[in-house]
Homo-oligomer: A and B are copies of this chain.
Amino acid sequence: MGSERWRIAESDLEALALGAAVLGTGGGGNPYVGMLRLRELLRAGASVEVVPLDAVVDDWQVAGVGGIGAPVVGVEKIEAGDECARAMRAVERVTGRAMDALIAVEIGGANAMEPMIVAAQTGLPVVDGDGMGRAFPEVQMTTFFIHGAPTTPAALADDKGNEVVFGAVQDMYWLERLARRVTVEMGAAAGMAQAPMRGDFVKATAVPGTVRLALDVGRAVVAARRARSSVVAALADLVGAVRLFEGKIVEVRRELRGGFAVGHVDLEGSDVDRGRDAAIDIQNENLVLRVEGEVVASVPDLIMVLDADHGEPITTEVLRFGQRVVVIGLPCHERLRSPEALAVVGPAAFGYPDLTFRPLAPERSAHAHHPS
């Protein structure tokens, strides 16, 4: 990771969206609509500058921005397009200080695009990093909050002109709770700007280099497809992805519960050496993979379901009976593996009190995941 600033080119956008979808681990919302909006902005003359994490200035005010809501709604709901920017301006009005840079709260899924859209709209740079290194379903599940980021003032804005500022909250769980409730009332999707963080805090806590990572992952997938070579092998080579299971989806159960897409998928193995059957638990993202009843991967490690033919990442809302898929795993960043982090994003935080997180074996990874 260098310290040079760089710009997002229009030709980067498809790879960036594809890489963000892969890192979305089945959730995070579809980046495609945001990608189209960003492309329009770039074509109209806007530009997006990316600042490497180690080039962030210590006393900068950095705003984490992103959409909040059920991913299924995000796909269908037509957003006004300025929700996150308006939420950020609302926070600025309360603090009386302008932001210096933006950062993704999650690089996985649609929220990879949101800071870039705000950057194109405001001229602020985007920091190369994020708060998850993937996607997670709840507001508090970022390395920022895990390390004590300020919870307020944060703000929500919707497509109808409503803006709600959280001036004080008891803790990060109350921020999630209140923001989720307001979002439901706003029509199940809103733009969120989190409380400004100092540059030095962001440097010390963000998952580094994940904008570049998403771009590289997307490019690797595109290149493998063009070469008709294995997408899984390309991802293993690039970021140490591990092939965990291969087979066919035989059952999908799904429901919306408390604003979250909750589900369960059963798979039948096609490569008996890798297991005869498997099951995936979902809460917006893929949470836990069991092969022949044994947990082989779980949050916070990344579990991705790819189409077996094209290597296209399959988001949880489009999983269906009969799909032939490859399930791959990717070790999460070490900043998500500390005991403090596991308390917020480990299996217990998702309702698995008895499941001890076992990191995906590093020796199975050809390369380090994050080039930090």
Chain A interface residues toward B at CB < 8 A = 90, 93-94, 152-153, 155, 157, 160-170, 174, 177-178, 181-182, 184-186
With known contacts A161-B169, A163-B168, A182–B178 Cβ distance under 8 A: yes
- Are A162 and B169 closer than 8 Å at their CB atoms? yes
Shortest C-beta distance, A262 to chain B (Å), equals 20
What is the distance, in angstroms, from A228's C-beta to the closest C-beta of chain B?
Answer: 52
Contacts of A90 in B (CB 8 A): 167-168
- 4 closest A-B pairs by beta carbon, nearest first, are A165-B165, A163-B167, A163-B168, A181-B185
Verify A170–B162 contact, CB threshold 8 A: yes
Q: How far is the CB of A300 from chain B (nearest CB, A)?
A: 27
Q: Is the CB of A162 within 8 A of B155?
A: no
**Interface-centre pick from A152, A163, A164 (highest chain B CB count, 10 A):** A164
CA A234 – CA B153 in complex, angstroms? 52
With contacts A155-B167, A167-B93 taken as known, whether A162 is within 8 angstroms of B178 at the C-beta atoms is yes
What are the residues of chain B within 8 A of A168 when measuring CB–CB?
90, 157, 161-163
Is there an interface contact between A165 and B167, defined as CB atoms closer than 8 Å? Answer: yes
Tell me the bound Cα distance from A185 to B164 in angstroms. Answer: 15
**B169 in contact with A166 (CB, 8 Å):** no
Residue of B nearest to A161 (CB): B170
CB contact between A165 and one of B160, B164, B177, B184 (< 8 Å): that residue: B164
The contact of A93 among B94, B164, B185, by CB within 8 Å, is B94
Please measure, in the bound complex, the distance between the C-alpha atom of A307 and the C-alpha atom of B254, giving whole angstroms.
Answer: 54
Cβ contacts under 8 Å, A162 to chain B: 166, 168-170, 174, 178
CB-nearest residue of chain B to A94: B94
Q: Which B residues are in CB contact (< 8 Å) with A178? A: 162, 164, 182, 185-186
Enumerate chain B residues within 8 angstroms of A181, measured Cβ to Cβ.
181-182, 184-185
- A186, closest chain B residue (CB): B178
A-B contact pairs, 25 of them (CB 8 A): A90-B167, A93-B167, A94-B94, A94-B167, A152-B163, A153-B165, A155-B167, A157-B168, A160-B170, A161-B169, A161-B170, A162-B166, A162-B168, A162-B169, A163-B166, A163-B168, A163-B169, A164-B165, A164-B167, A164-B178, A164-B182, A165-B167, A178-B185, A181-B184, A182-B182
Which residues of chain B have C-beta atoms less than 8 A from A184's C-beta? 181
Residues in chain B near residue A161, CB distance under 8 A: 168-170
Residue of A94, A155, A161, A162 contacting most chain B CB atoms (<10 Å)? A162
* Nearest-CB residue, chain B, relative to A90: B167
Task: Write out the residue numbers on chain B whose beta carbons fall within 8 Å of the beta carbon of A185.
Answer: 177-178, 181
For the complex formed, measure the closest distance between the CB of A17 and the CB atoms of chain B, giving whole angstroms.
31
**Chain B residues, CB < 8 A from A160:** 170, 174
A340 to chain B, nearest CB (A): 22
Query: How far is the CB of A283 from the nearest CB of chain B, in Å?
Result: 20
Cα of A184 to Cα of B162 in the assembled complex, Å: 19
Shortest beta-carbon distance from A348 to chain B in Å? 24
Residue in B closest to A166 when the chains form the complex, CB atoms:
B164
The closest CB in chain B to the CB of A86 belongs to B168
Residues in B with CB closer than 8 Å to A165 are 94, 153, 164-167
Contact partners of A170 in chain B: CB under 8 A:
160-162
Given contacts A157-B168, A163-B166, 9 further A-B pairs with CB under 8 A are A153-B165, A163-B167, A164-B164, A164-B166, A164-B178, A165-B165, A177-B185, A181-B184, A181-B185
A177: B residues at CB distance < 8 A: 185
User: Which residues of chain B are within 8 angstroms of A169 by Cβ–Cβ distance?
Assistant: 161-163
Alpha-carbon gap, A184 to B153, bound state (A): 21
